[in-house]
Amino acid sequence: MGVLDLFRLDGKTALVTGAAKGLGRSLALALAEAGADVVGLDKLPCDETARLVEKTGRQFMEIRCDLRYVAGADYNPVIEQVVAAWGKLDILVNNAGVTFPNAVFDIREQDYDEENLVNQKALFFLSQAAGRRMAETGGGKIINIASLNAFVGGLRAASYTATKGAVASITRAMASEWAELGINVNCIAPGWILTDNTRNIWEDKELYAQTCANIPAGRWGRTEDFMGTVVFLASRASDYLHGSIIIVDGGLFLR
């Protein structure tokens, strides 16, 4: 076996949340290009993601679900739907997230609650349901998407920052308990990414230039910048990695 074979995902089944567009779409495509069949969970249609995945020769299944309205126990049927269709679940990517930028004094309770529901509560209970199934079948990979905000305060993002700090802590806690079960739980912490969630900033040329000036790489991340990292964390190449948080930010954290 060559070293590149460690990164192959042939025969694997992956569930990616927030797969309809942006980062989730790129992560789903990356896993498919490495050989995995993909289930995309989103409240929006995943038609374009399905097209791209199927173009690689892999299978795609959509689960339409709004994570704001799912109670903890209701994640078990989501996982069982994947298993019923394809026999197993090997990889879970908790990518779905929302943000409502605002100054601390102006954060509304309803926005705070929604960020918590989607960014950390859904992630926790979906991982719990997936982890139970993975423990029964000999292991698996859970990959959480946090943020550089898990380590820095940021501006106009206090409630979002709180949820992403929780994601980092949940990653470590689950990894500590589940490593002996053959389940790897790790995390990617992006910096600035060109997505719809940040459109209000990168479409402002002056503000975009200001933020780029603080990034050693001189630019914001593109969704494809995360494809290699997610394949690594989903593959055998990361079998001895547990509870790690990989910062992918063009060097922004260094400053």
pLDDT given at position 200? 84
Active-site hit among 69, 75, 160, 240: 160
Whether the Cβ atoms of residue 18 and residue 96 lie closer than 8 Å to each other: yes
The answer to whether 185 and 175 have CB atoms below 8 angstroms apart is: yes
The amino acid present at 201, given as its one-letter code, is I
What is the model's pLDDT at position 55? 98
Domains in the chain (CATH in brackets) are 3-194+222-245 (3.40.50.720)
Sign of CA dihedral 215, 218, 223, 226: negative
- Among 223, 242, 230, residue whose Cα is nearest residue 181: 242
Name beta bridge partners: 127: none
Give CA–CA dist 116/95, Å, rounded. 14
Neighbours of 54 (CB within 10 A): 13
How far apart, in whole angstroms, are the C-alpha atoms of residue 9 and residue 37?
9
pLDDT at residue number 176: 98
Q: Are 146 and 245 in contact (CB under 8 A)?
A: yes
Place of tokens 């055998």: 236
Position of tokens 């993002």?
157
Q: What is the pLDDT along the chain (255 residues), one digit of tens a residue?
A: 799 999 999 999 999 999 999 999 999 999 999 999 999 999 999 999 999 999 999 999 999 999 999 876 689 999 999 999 999 999 999 999 999 999 999 999 999 999 999 999 999 999 999 999 999 999 999 999 999 999 998 888 999 999 999 999 999 999 999 999 999 999 999 999 999 888 888 999 999 999 999 999 999 999 999 999 999 999 999 999 999 999 999 999 998
The pLDDT value recorded for residue 129 is 96
Entry field: residues in the chain: 255
CA pair distance 238, 101, nearest whole angstrom: 34
Report pLDDT for 70. Answer: 87
In this prediction the pTM is 0.97
Backbone angles phi, psi at 143, to 5 degrees: -120, 115
- Rounded to an integer, what distance in angstroms lies between the CA atom of residue 248 and that of residue 31? 18
112 catalytic per annotation? no
> DSSP strand E in 112-229: where?
140-145, 183-190
Q: How many angstroms separate the CA atoms of 175 and 164, rounded?
A: 17
What are the DSSP E strand ranges found in the chain?
13-17, 37-42, 60-64, 91-94, 140-145, 183-190, 245-248
